[in-house]
Amino acid sequence: MAQPELPVPETMFGTTKIGRVLIAIEAIKEDPDMVYAIMAKMIPIKTIISKEGGLIEYVAISEEFDALKSTEMIPEYVNQIHSDGSVTFVRKTFKRSIPDSVKDEIMRTIMSHKVDMDAFKSFVLQFNAATAEDFETYDESFLEALLIYIARRDKNVSL
């Protein structure tokens, strides 16, 4: 099924906990109780039926979904039915988008404070269970760690 580029609606529903969930048409016929359990956890706000793919895509609101920022695309969630009948959703697609302003601020901060990236990485690895991937995503967390590093470095605190 084609994945539409759906921006997060501002707050027309009073929440940004919005996601996309796929349910097989066959599941509705064969196991309606399972579908009821899934539907009880979400409020559909848009439905797209793909007869060719045998799927229904629901754009829905759920307390189980991540709160999204206005710049994020609505992610897809996989529903998981547990042996006790409970339902959880696991985010599958669309990494959080990072505003260009955050990326720009990171670059300005690195340049204006002459940050040695190897020293910064060593600092972060000392205090967190960081991985190489954490240094590839220039997001708000990266910026926060960078600012902490600079503050400690500039106060001559032992790094």
pLDDT digits (tens, 9 = 90+) for 87-122: 899 888 656 667 778 888 999 999 999 999 988 888
Same domain, 80 and 29: yes
Same domain, 105 and 87: no
Any domain includes 10: no
Tens digit of pLDDT for each residue in 133-151? Answer: 677 777 777 888 888 889 8
Same domain, 104 and 87: no
Q: Are 15 and 6 in contact (CB under 8 A)?
A: no
Predicted structure pTM score: 0.54
- Containing structural domain, residue 124: 100-154
Same domain, 32 and 74: yes
Q: Are 81 and 37 in contact (CB under 8 A)?
A: yes
Least confident of 51-60, 61-70, 92-101, 103-112: 92-101
Q: Give the total number of structural domains in the chain.
A: 2
Same domain, 74 and 30: yes
pLDDT at 14: 77
Same domain, 86 and 105: no
